[in-house]
């Protein structure tokens, strides 16, 4: 009887906790539509080209040392979502680029990307993501073994 009561109280507590709103939830967060041409202009205005190239786009040459230039876009094993790109821009230390070798990522405490949050507008952010996201294309998996279906 006592065990049943304890289980009932625990179940009620879990249900009640599930009903509470998470004040940091992004569930209802929506950004306005962006403009790719304005995103390219923001990319240049914010000096992103200093350390980045963009697949298929003619931009000013990077000013960083070649080993520090990171190509954006092109073929990737996993497509970058809108949220991935937003996070990479506004919180570059959260997830270091997959283009950086794993052994180097493990040694890095911080992303080499300079923060732009104090100088970038929300419009520039939305436009940047709208400019960059279509530049990525998912690579087809490469299989070296052929599988035969059972008869």
> Which of 16-30, 38-52, 127-141 shows the highest mean pLDDT?
38-52
User: In the chain, what are the domains?
Assistant: 32-138 (1.10.760.10)
pLDDT (tens digit, 9 = 90+) per residue, 41-75? 999 999 999 999 999 999 999 999 998 899 999 99
How high is the pLDDT of residue 123?
A: 96
Closest C-alpha among 107, 119, 112 to residue 45: 119
Closest C-alpha among 118, 111, 128 to residue 48: 128
């Amino acid at each position: 009887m006592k065990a049943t009561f304890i289980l009932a109280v625990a179940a009620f507590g879990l249900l009640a906790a599930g009903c509470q709103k998470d004040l940091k939830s992004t569930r209802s967060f929506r950004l306005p539509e962006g403009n790719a041409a304005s995103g390219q202009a923001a990319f240049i205005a914010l000096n992103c080209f200093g350390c980045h190239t963009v697949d298929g786009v003619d931009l000013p040459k990077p000013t960083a040392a070649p080993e520090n230039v990171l190509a954006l876009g092109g073929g990737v094993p996993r497509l970058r979502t809108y949220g991935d790109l937003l996070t990479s821009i506004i919180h570059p230390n959260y997830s270091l680029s997959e283009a950086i070798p794993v052994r180097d990522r493990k040694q890095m405490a911080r992303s080499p990307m300079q923060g732009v949050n104090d100088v970038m507008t929300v419009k520039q952010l939305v436009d940047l993501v709208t400019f960059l996201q279509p530049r990525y294309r998912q690579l087809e998996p490469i299989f070296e073994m052929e599988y035969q279906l059972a008869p």
